[in-house]
């Protein structure tokens, strides 16, 4: 059975290569900072499953200090010039898209087809991680095709990968860090505390007000936690279930579906949803790290208002 551990080892090896190539890189004044940062991440991927929780914690602390105190800088590995790229694009034509499209194609194929394949009753790919494993396979297959076809220097993919990952820098770890913070918040019962505040001091007699408090609460709490999944159980236990479903007799399916989507409106507005909002800003080299959020807010707010009206109408008018 192929599972996450295989993906982690491949990722670990990639970060090892990034780290080694960073050593002594003259294009980057802080090359040793980069080398150490990616080496620590490589250690987490390769050995994390065998370290104790405390050891993993110390590893994260070291990563946080390096990334947080500015030990990293952008690198400039040798790559092609704009002229060479234009020439190559003209010569190779639309075939260039094929390797890029192999990645999603394999990911989708894996999710739909390989998922069902078992050998001696052992599934080929661990069921719950099938998308991630397929995505990894897609990336590797695309890489092999691209290498055979383009015949670049042997280290080119690693250097190009380093160029991109250094463009993102420490922000590459932000989604994982925030996911971890969510877990610590859960241990510290932060959700329950937010639920207490949401239910206190609120005039919860009028159905429309309750719908509004629930939907806005979902959006706000999602914005704080960066994740609607963290907000949903708390807000629904505090407001959705006792008031909308039990007291006012609302349809649970409508409360759940529209409530979750109100949370997604919050996701659009928050730096805490790093993989959707902060990482693309880094990937697209935007000078303003909130650039994506600023575009999304004018859609998120009217959509939230529509969700409130929609939930009220579906529950209590129709």
Pick out residues in 139-178 that bind another protein (CB under 8 A).
139-140, 142-143, 146-147, 150, 152, 156-161, 163-165, 168, 170-178
How far apart CA 159 and CA 141 sit, in angstroms, is 18
Q: Give least dist CB 120 to another protein, A.
A: 26
Q: Give least dist CB 64 to another protein, A.
A: 5
Is residue 129 a contact residue for another protein (CB under 8 A)? yes
Contacting residue, 40, 126, 209, 291, with another protein by CB under 8 A: 291
**Residue-wise DSSP of 75-116:** -------HHHHHHHHHHHGGGGHHHHHHHHHHHHHHHHTGGG
Is residue 245 a contact residue for another protein (CB under 8 A)? yes
Contacting residue, 1, 23, 64, 127, with another protein by CB under 8 A: 64
Pick out residues in 205-244 that bind another protein (CB under 8 A).
224, 228-229, 232-233, 236, 241
Q: Give least dist CB 124 to another protein, A.
A: 18
Contact track, another protein, 247-286, x by CB under 8 A: -----xxx-xxx-xx--x--xx--xx-xxxxxxxx-xxxx
How far apart CA 232 and CA 155 sit, in angstroms, is 46
Q: Give least dist CB 249 to another protein, A.
A: 12
Is residue 55 a contact residue for another protein (CB under 8 A)? yes
Q: Which residues are CB-neighbours of 263 under 8 A, at least 6 positions away? A: 218, 219, 221, 222, 228, 231, 232, 235
Nearer to another protein, 31 or 166 (CB): 166
Nearer to another protein, 213 or 274 (CB): 274
Pick out residues in 84-113 that bind another protein (CB under 8 A).
84-90, 92-94, 96-97, 99-100, 103-104, 107-108, 111
Three-state SS at 210: helix
Nearer to another protein, 119 or 308 (CB): 308
17 touches 158 (CB < 8 A): yes
Q: How many residues bind another protein (CB under 8 A)?
A: 147
Nearer to another protein, 93 or 203 (CB): 93
- Chain length of the chain: 318
Among the residues of 153-251, which ranges form H helices?
A: 156-168, 174-187, 190-199, 207-225, 228-235
Is residue 203 a contact residue for another protein (CB under 8 A)? no
Nearer to another protein, 122 or 184 (CB): 184
Three-state SS at 74: coil
140 touches 155 (CB < 8 A): no
Contacting residue, 57, 116, 117, 127, with another protein by CB under 8 A: 57
Instruction: Using the rule CB under 8 A, give the single segment among 24-32, 118-126, 189-197, 204-212 that binds another protein.
Output: 189-197
79 touches 159 (CB < 8 A): yes
Q: Which residues are CB-neighbours of 96 under 8 A, at least 6 positions away? A: 89
Is residue 9 a contact residue for another protein (CB under 8 A)? no
Chain centre to alpha carbon of residue 194: 24
How far apart CA 10 and CA 1 sit, in angstroms, is 16
């Amino acid at each position: 059975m192929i599972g996450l551990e295989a993906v982690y080892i491949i990722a670990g090896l990639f970060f090892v290569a990034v780290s080694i190539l960073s050593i002594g890189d003259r294009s980057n004044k802080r090359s040793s900072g980069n080398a150490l940062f990616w080496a620590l991440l490589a250690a987490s991927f390769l050995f994390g499953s065998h370290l104790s929780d405390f050891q993993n914690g110390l590893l994260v602390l070291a990563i946080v200090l390096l990334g947080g105190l500015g030990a990293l800088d952008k690198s400039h590995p040798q790559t092609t010039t704009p002229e060479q790229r234009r020439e190559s694009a003209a010569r190779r034509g639309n075939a260039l898209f094929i390797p890029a499209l192999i990645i999603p194609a394999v990911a989708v194929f894996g999710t739909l087809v390989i998922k069902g394949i078992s050998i001696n009753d052992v599934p080929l790919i661990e069921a719950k991680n099938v998308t991630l494993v397929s995505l990894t396979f897609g990336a590797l297959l695309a890489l092999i095709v691209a290498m055979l076809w383009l015949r670049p220097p042997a280290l080119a993919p690693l250097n190009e990968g380093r160029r991109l990952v250094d463009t993102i820098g420490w922000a590459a770890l932000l989604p994982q860090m925030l996911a971890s913070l969510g877990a610590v918040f859960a241990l510290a019962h932060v959700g329950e505390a937010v639920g207490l505040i949401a239910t206190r001091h609120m005039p919860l007699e009028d159905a429309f007000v309750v719908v509004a408090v629930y939907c806005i609460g979902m959006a706000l709490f999602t914005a704080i936690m960066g994740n609607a999944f963290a907000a949903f159980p708390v807000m629904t236990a505090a407001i959705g279930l006792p008031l909308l479903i039990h007291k006012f007799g609302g349809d649970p399916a409508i409360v759940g579906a529209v409530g979750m989507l109100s949370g997604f409106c919050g996701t659009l507005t928050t730096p805490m949803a790093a993989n959707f909002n902060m990482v693309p800003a880094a990937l697209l080299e935007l000078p303003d790290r909130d650039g994506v959020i600023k575009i999304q807010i004018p859609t998120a707010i009217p959509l939230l208002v529509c969700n409130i009206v929609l939930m009220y109408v579906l529950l209590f008018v129709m």
